[in-house]
Amino acid sequence: MTKDIATPVRTREILEKYGFSFKKSLGQNFLIDPNILKKIVSYADLTEESGAIEIGPGIGALTEQLAKSCKKVVAFEIDQRLLPILEDTLQEYPQVTILHQDILEADISTVMKKHFIEQKDVMVVANLPYYVTTPILMKLLHDQIPVRGFVVMMQKEVADRLAAEPGTKEYGSLSIAIQYYTVPEKVMIVPKSVFMPQPNVDSAVVRLTRREQPPVRVTDEEFFFTVTRTSFAQRRKTLLNNLTNGLPDGKIKKDEILAALDSVDIDPQRRGETLSIDEFANLANALHPIFK
């Protein structure tokens, strides 16, 4: 067996062999600690019958550990320069398929139907590029792809926002969206020293377990998310201020917004960060007939 891809020595050898240079614009930071990668994979609870989706495999360090733990791995890589490297580093693992696609444009459900024919249990396991962490997570959740959950590494600051509670400075519309679809847990902090090149901040691994049902009932999901985003548009402003400025014709409908807030017993002078997901659901349901 060859040495793990993720050792500092082997990583350097691979990069030198192919004359690879990191692209800052693609948020490329490769992990160079096999033990951390094994730990990340262990949080996904994969079996020999499972499948895994990876985003941004780089030179294949995490892909290799996934291939050792499950039956099928499909990885999306946007950087064409990495395709010949991955073909080389992962040649021992026929169960790995690399797709040269941007995950944000991919039809993931179709990809899953094609590649995970036998796998009923599929997890997303990835070291997400920092600059597109939120759009990737929101796409995966909105597309309702049939996976058990996600074990994903991201900037620690973003990880803190996913599991944030009302009333904290980290709590925002992203917290609500994530908690609507999943149960988030921060399972591990990863120091910046185990990456090449070293980023400026520490990372965290978050496990997101899909909920069978959202924790609240909403009349219109899209409108619910519009209301939450609008409520946090300017954090220092009151709920009433954000809603009248952010919703279509909000200023004209100010009295109706006030009546809706009153009907669900929410003080218009409160700020978005103080509302629980239940209160946001009640508020969106009360506003829905006014704006739809």
State yes or no: 245 annotated in a binding site: no
**Residue recorded with tokens 């499948």:** 51
Q: Six-digit token pair at 124?
A: 């997303």
Residues 6+ apart with CB under 8 A from 42: none
State yes or no: 58 annotated in a binding site: no
Residues in the chain: 292
State yes or no: 56 annotated in a binding site: yes
CA 273 to the chain's CA centroid: 21
State yes or no: 202 annotated in a binding site: no
State yes or no: 127 annotated in a binding site: yes
State yes or no: 256 annotated in a binding site: no
Give yes or no for a cis peptide into 135 (omega within 30° of 0).
no
Amino acid at 263: S
Torsions phi, psi for 229 (to 5 deg): -60, -45
Residues 6+ apart with CB under 8 A from 67: 73, 90, 93, 95, 96
Tell me how far apart the terminal alpha carbons of the chain are, to the nearest angstrom: 61
Q: Are 163 and 204 in contact (CB under 8 A)?
A: no
**How far apart are alpha carbons 37 and 32 in whole angstroms?**
9
Q: Six-digit token pair at 237?
A: 């402003």
| Residues making up the binding site | 29, 31, 56, 77, 102, 127
- Could you tell me which residues are annotated as the binding site for S-adenosyl-L-methionine? 29, 31, 56, 77, 102, 127
